[in-house]
Amino acid sequence: HQFPAMMRMNSETIITSNKKSNYFETIMEEDLLPIDERDDGYRLSPLGYHIGQLPVDVRLGKMIILGAIFQCIDPIVTIAACLSNKSPFVIPLYETEAATQAKLSLASDTRSDHIAMLRAYEYWASKSEYEAKAFARKYFLSHNTLQTLKFTRLQFLDQLTVSGLLKSNTRAFMNANANSENIALIKAIICAGLYPHVCRIRMVKKGARFTTSDGLKVNIHPSSVNANQKQFASNWLVYHERVKSPQLFVVETTMVSPVSLVLFGGKLNITETKRSASISVDDWIKLEVTERETMYLLEKLKNNLDSLLLQIIEQPQEEIDAKQAELIQSTASLLKSEILVDSTI
């Protein structure tokens, strides 16, 4: 039995799509889809409007738009295409270990299922049809699913071009991928799109324990590259979705840095005492700062980024000026550093 299309969409996507027809007078996820209040009700913000144009759910739409702005559009549309379709990875019943090792080899040291998907697609797309099929067999990938992802990517890129967020000439497209090798930036944009799907990692004698932002105890799905890991360089993961079978699992995870959560997460709150200073994100993610000056610089940077994103989204046809470009590149460089440490509060 096939459910009607609207029943198969998530509530955020339904509301965003229908706002363009004035069917709804309210909206969900105000921080994700900011709105402007008017005397006659509500209208979509520029960000909400552009997300509503993309054939994808709200969080992935936000991810794609940020990928265009931060000049790493190619990898981000690939990841979004993977998350909007079924995973390209296939795990045969009697070859679980071999399939897991193949995925781990693609992820390398990134600790990211999303980067593993990205690399799988990139390697597959770079080969001839015969070589691509052989590659898919070797790495336990569905050749048909990868072909579907190729079509989905083109849909996303076409819509970005129509919106003006992506220019169609060759030079502009190269600029749109100027940061496509910056894995830290790509993971930060994944964080921005999937937030608040965040897990806090706590190491105990028996191993790692994972808690979601709404307080649920979860496990990492066995198909994830982060399953059964003994050490984590960061105490934070983002995930795509939760499933119960019969335990509660988080599926398709990426380890993210504290800086990513500060710059691309929720509302910041600064706390200072004589001995320490910390930043909290949505009063849940608490992070200590080694230098107080750094804390205020990060707060200022986040505010500047928010203003920049609003300007670009409101006027996508305008060329990015030197000051805006500098802010984007400064952010990309900063994400490679580790300024914050996890709080013991």
pLDDT digits over 126-159, tens only? Answer: 999 999 999 999 999 999 999 999 999 999 998 8
Taking the C-alpha atoms of residue 89 and residue 96, their distance in angstroms, rounded to an integer, is 11
Q: How confident is the model at residue 39 (pLDDT cuts 50, 70, 90)?
A: very low
- pLDDT value at residue 23: 25
pTM listed for this prediction? 0.84
From CA 330, how far away is CA 345, in angstroms rounded?
Answer: 30
Q: What is the mean pLDDT of residues 109-132?
A: 97
Give the confidence band of 50 by pLDDT, cuts at 50, 70, 90: low
Supply the pLDDT for residue 171: 60
Name residue 157's amino acid.
Answer: L
> Mean of the per-residue pLDDT values for the chain?
82
Residue 32 has pLDDT above 50, yes or no: no
| Average pLDDT of the segment spanning 103-112 | 96
Locate 165 and state its tokens.
């967020």
Q: How many angstroms separate the CA atoms of 247 and 327, rounded?
A: 43
**Three-state SS for 36?**
strand
In degrees rounded to 5, what are phi and psi of residue 124? -60, -45
At position 288, the amino acid (one-letter code) is E
Q: Which of 1-5, 77-81, 191-195, 212-216 has the lowest mean pLDDT?
A: 1-5
